[in-house]
Amino acid sequence: MAGYKETPRQKMISMMYLVLTALLALNVAKQILDAFVVVNESMEATNENFSQKINQTYAKFNEQYALNPEKVGKYWEKAKQVKNLSKSINNYIDTLKVTVIAKTEKIPHSVADTIKLIDIKNKDNFDMPTHYFMGTDMKKGVAYDLKDSINAFRERILSFINEEDRPTFSKKIGLITEGDFRDADKQKQSWEEHNFYHTILAADVVLLNELKAEVYNAESDIVNYLFSSISARDFKVSDVEAKVIPESKYVFQGDDYAAEILVASVDNTQNPEVYILDGADTLIEANIGQAKKYIGENGVVKLELPANTLGEKKYAGLIKLMTPMGTAKYYGFKSDYIVAKPSATISPTKMNVFYRGVDNPVAISASGKSDAQLTPIISAGKIIRNKDGGWIVKDIPGNAIDVTITVKADDHGKSKVMGMHKFRVKDLPDPIALVRGAKKNKIKKNVLLKNPRLICRLPDGVDFEYPFKVTSFTVVIPTGEKGYAITELSNSSKLTDRMLQAIKNMKKKDLIVFKEIKAKGPIRTRNLNNVVYEIK
């Protein structure tokens, strides 16, 4: 029974522990407390899932014991002992958690037993938790009893493992309290100091929940080990149910509908015969000659049905098994699936065309496929992922008048074309120059003096953003000193000192003209239309 691989659950617990350890290593600031709340909520959800899954295993164990108490009994008795040991230490950990919250928050235990970490006011308090766990002389706190309890629990549940498998499980189940523990200055610490000395309440709550997760994980590993120790011949099956496990009930036209058909609680050394009648609601023994026969392997039949036409499809079947008495017994089943055309949606998120020289955001999706399975290909230019999970079309050549995006998706190891779409390619339209604060070609003199620069925006109806920048312009003020017009060039977006002085001398209904305006944009410099404002 040696040589177990690390399960996804174990990997998740290890990752959570790394996050916790990293957080504990910080001098926790107020904004970090939210991270503890998030980690704790995740740990509580994980523990709830652990509890439910372990209970499912106990239910199966109890079912097999009811069927064959003589052969299953010794394993079932050990499993119940493991359950009681796990329940006892987790109740103890919960008691410690409630007590430290009650002491730190100065609230009754009944309130501390229901309060959420996010609602605790003194999450960053470390004086009371340190005193509670470490004691006044670093020797009489509850952390030392907790360590002893963990060690005793670990030793007791390992006793249910065969000696040859014990080294593997000793590493697998965690709950290690002996080792090289060091603080941030690399000074050696005990397990108690490493976890509970000078740590804030939020960290202690998360750590206690993490210990519960390790207890659940250890319980699950031991109980599953005991369950798997019952050989296949020890199971006596009273109910047999046919199971259909499709790869997907959503199938694209031209592909095959694929499913596995099996019998629950049957020795997998028996290879069943399966009879399938495509398009039927039911199949009975009398009509078995109309059905197609499939032979199973290792107790499972792999089914493939052609998906050549669109719409909802159905089929029915019978599984044939031989009883210990040598007679045939049939178990019926039925299922359905949907055949659909491959399709993809390719939508520019800000416009109906692609523009040259800029980043064009695009949303891409395909029916029945996750985003990670999609690979878009563009006929000209580049298409890349952006940081928000969408896509960006960029670097479209200047001579391109249209581009086509083709979306492919991974489909059971093969690349399938889900759809394509053609887009027109254009230059961004010329922007409009303006002074901030102007309204309907009129502007107050003090507003113009407070906003002494020209800015740009794209015309109405263009749902896109690009930072055009004015690089030069000429101002003409028809009424100036001694009645002569003032003409002044600016080689930036800002008004010159001479322009500003002239504006100060302007009166109501005087005109100021901005002409020969140049703005820097994608690909080329733009010559913009003149702008005329009346002083109001």
Percent residues over pLDDT 70 in the chain:
82
Helix (H) or strand (E) holding 528: strand 525-528
pLDDT of residue 347: 66
208 inside domain: yes
2 inside domain: no
Last residue of a domain, one of 213, 234, 255: 234
| Calculated CA dihedral for residues 474, 480, 483, 486, nearest 10 degrees | -20
The residues near 215 (Cβ < 8 Å, ≥ 6 apart) are: 86, 89, 90, 93, 153, 175
- Take residue 480 and report the two structure tokens written for it: 């100036």
Strand residue runs (E) in 286-359: 292-295, 300-306, 311-322, 328-340, 344-348, 354-355
d(CA 321, CA 330): 6
Nearest to 209 by CA among 111, 121, 116, 295: 116
pLDDT of residue 381: 93
The per-residue pLDDT for range 375-392, each reduced to its tens digit, is 899 999 999 988 877 899
Query: Tokens 């492919």, residue?
Result: 408
374 and 408 in a single domain? The answer is yes
1 inside domain: no
Q: Show the domain range for 289.
A: 242-340
383 and 422 in a single domain? The answer is yes
Give yes or no for residue 394 having a pLDDT over 80: yes
Sort strands 328-340 and 250-252 into parallel, antiparallel or unpaired.
parallel
> Could you tell me the pLDDT band of residue 232, with boundaries at 50, 70 and 90?
very low
Distances (CA, A) of 88 to 82, 91, 216: 10, 5, 12
Distances (CA, A) of 84 to 6, 90, 215, 524: 25, 10, 12, 77
The residues near 482 (Cβ < 8 Å, ≥ 6 apart) are: none
- Take residue 363 and report the two structure tokens written for it: 């949303």
The per-residue pLDDT for range 425-478, each reduced to its tens digit, is 999 999 999 999 998 899 999 999 999 999 999 998 787 888 999 999 999 988
3 inside domain: no
Q: How far is CA 228 from the centre of its chain?
A: 33
pTM for this entry:
0.42
| Count of domains observed in the chain | 4
pLDDT of residue 19: 60
Query: Tokens 């003589």, residue?
Result: 70
373 inside domain: yes
Q: What is the 3-state secondary structure (H, E, C) of 467-524?
A: CCEEEEEEEEECCCHHHCCEEEEECCCECCHHHHHHHHCCCCCCEEEEEEEEEECCCC
The number of beta carbons lying within 10 Å of the beta carbon of residue 66 is 12
Least confident of 111-120, 162-171, 341-350, 394-403: 341-350
277 and 315 in a single domain? The answer is yes
The per-residue pLDDT for range 4-16, each reduced to its tens digit, is 455 555 556 556 6
d(CA 62, CA 409): 45
Give yes or no for residue 413 having a pLDDT over 80: no
pLDDT of residue 418: 84
41 and 171 in a single domain? The answer is yes
Greater confidence (113 vs 271) lies with 113
472 and 401 in a single domain? The answer is no
379 inside domain: yes
Q: Give the mean pLDDT of the chain.
A: 81
